[in-house]
Structure 1
Amino acid sequence: QRVLINGAAGAIGTFAVQMAKRMGAHVTGVCSTGNVERVRALGADAVVDYTKTDFTRAGETYDVIFDAVGKSSYRQAKKALTPTGKYLTTVLGNNILGNMLWTKIAGGKRAIFDATGLKQTRDKLETLANWVAEGELKSVVDRTYTLDQMQEAHAYVDTGHKRGNIVISMTIATQA
């Protein structure tokens, strides 16, 4: 299957790239110029730099488009889906709800919301744990903050340009 991951350099996207690749998909990651090599290193077969190219207008089609950041919409993305392709997002809004209902009734292409993407079963969690143990699924950490820097951490996340995950250490920085 051909899978496109929008937001491939973010916390969810970095895992999605690795998981899709591990499951045998041809993976295309969408990210900014500064993250192209990082996303490629995670296993993406192709990378689209969103500052230069709109993936919905590039002429490629995908079996799955996973929007990990909520920056596209089903209406935009459906042009890049195969006839039975699925659009998945982690961002719930009024538009996706209407599209989910309509595509369920109409058939063919589908719009789907799922906060986790996986029904948590013991087998699936064991598979993920094995991938981590084997080094095939790695956490990408951008920055680490202490507990008293939580406000700074949120401000950084809100810029929309973090690379991977933010870690909050459960310690408080000591004052000298």
Structure 2
Amino acid sequence: MTVVPARAAWSGTVPAGRHLTLTDLHGNQAVDFLVYDAHDTAVRYSAPDTFQAQQGIFLTTGSVLMSTEHTPLMTVVEDTVGRHDTIGGACSKESNTLRYGHHTWSQHACVDNFLAEGARHGLTARDLVSNINWYMNVPVEKDGTLGIVDGLSAPGRTVVLRAETDVLVLVSNCPQINNPCNGFDPTAVDITIGEAPA
């Protein structure tokens, strides 16, 4: 069990068959997430392949995270939230400046977390792809626009993923304070790697 502080990054390897559990300790906290084949990081999460395989853009129980080779990386085996975002992206200094004003340029962002944590595994900016945002609520409006609104989570809500192959996971416990994805107050989350339940 690892408590990832507010705004912090985490990474770890999950062996095939083991489960990764994310727990939203305080509620309304977005968790940005990337996953790679642990033995070949050129094989990594692919949003388009995942959308195509499950015929939808939101993730929940039964969703399979597909790779760039159209192979399964992880499967959501339990979800007490109900829907998670795949299209909102990771916050960055550039996107913060564009959306919220130049005064936000110095604020720490998910891309910073991914770059720093990825560097520990030999990854660079070229290895960053479209990410998953667990717990984040990004509805698609009737006119096709995206909203970023209050999350669907609550304290203690979990997402459990089973590794279908050995995977490397990168997490950014989102530091965003300019929109309601974290309730304007980022908080800690728990990450546990464990055996499959009996």
Question: TM-score with structure 1 length normalisation?
Answer: 0.28
Question: TM-score with structure 2 length normalisation?
Answer: 0.26
The structure that is helix-richer by fraction is 1
Instruction: Compare relative contact order (CA 8 Å, sep 6+) and give the higher one, 1 or 2.
Output: 2
Look at both structures and tell me which one has the larger radius of gyration over its CA atoms: 1
